[in-house]
Amino acid sequence: MGRTVLVTGGTSGIGRATAARFAADGADVVITGRRPETVEPAAAELGVRGLACDATRPGEVAALAEELGGRLDVLVNAAGGLPPVPAAGTPPLEALAQELTASVAANVLTAALTTTAVRDRLASGGTVVSIGSIGAERRGGSYGAAKAALAAWNLTLAAEMGPRDVTCNVISSGYVADTNFFRGAMTEERHQALVEETLLKRPGTPGDIAETVFFLASPGARHITGQTIHVNGGAFTTR
C-alpha cells in the first residue's frame, strides 16, 4: 500500500511539484488550495485527490481533517506566500498591522492549524515538512518574520512528535522560479539579481524543493528532525 500524503497549497509551484513527486512514487496524495477552481483542475492534471480548504480558517481545516479520515504518513505545509499590499492611503500603522497579520496568517497559521488538525493521524515513521523561506534569514520584512516564526514553531512540534517517531522539519527555500509566488510582479532585473546571489547561478525550481521534501520523508532521513534545511543554490550559506 502506498503512503498517504497531504500537501497544502498543492495547486501550483512548490506544493504542486511535491504532490507530483509523491504521486510518481505511488502515494495516495491529497492536495489543497483555497478555491475549487484552482484545486479541481490541478488535482485532475496530477491524478490526485483535491479538496478546497483555506488553511487560515479553523472550520475549513477541521472539515478537511474529517474528510481525510484514516492514517497520514506525510504532511507537507506548502500553503503560504506574500501578504496583500495594503490599499493606497491606508494609515501607516494600520497598513503595518494588516501586513503583519496577513503574513502570520498565511505562513504560520496555515501550518499550525493543519498540523494540529491531523497530528493524531500521523503514523509512526511519519513526517511533517513545512516550507519556510530565505526571507527568514535576511531582509524578509513581515513575510520573513512570519517564516522565522514558522521555523520556531516547528521546534516545539518536533519535540512533541519525536517520541511518536514523527520527524518535523522546515525547508527554507531560496528564490524559486515558475511559481505564482510573485503574482506576475517579477521583473527580468529582479530575477537576474536573485540568480546572481546564488553560488550556482540559477534560480531554484519547484522540483528542487520537491526532491528535498521527498528525501526528508524517506527512510534515509529518519534521524533528521527539528531542523531548518536551506535549499537556495548558495544564496544563503551556513557553517
Which residues of the shown chain bind ligand NAP in the complex (CB under 6 A)?
8-15, 32-35, 38, 54-56, 78-81, 106-107, 110, 131, 133, 173, 175-176, 179-181
Closer Cβ to ligand NAP, 113 or 158, answer by number: 113
In the residue annotation, 143 being an active-site residue is answered as: yes
**Beta carbon of residue 41, minimum distance to ligand NAP (angstroms, whole number):** 10
Q: How many angstroms from the chain centroid is the CA of residue 44?
A: 21
Catalytic residue among 22, 143, 153, 175: 143
Enumerate residues 6+ apart whose C-beta is below 8 A from 172: 132, 133, 134, 136, 137, 147, 151, 228, 229, 230, 231, 232, 236
Closer Cβ to ligand NAP, 115 or 173, answer by number: 173
| Cα–Cα distance, 124 to 166 (Å, whole number) | 6
Q: Do the Cβ atoms of 16 and 206 come closer than 8 Å?
A: yes
Nearest residue to ligand NAP, scored by beta-carbon proximity: 13
**Beta carbon of residue 171, minimum distance to ligand NAP (angstroms, whole number):** 8
**Beta carbon of residue 223, minimum distance to ligand NAP (angstroms, whole number):** 25
Q: Do the Cβ atoms of 129 and 217 come closer than 8 Å?
A: yes
Active site residues: 143
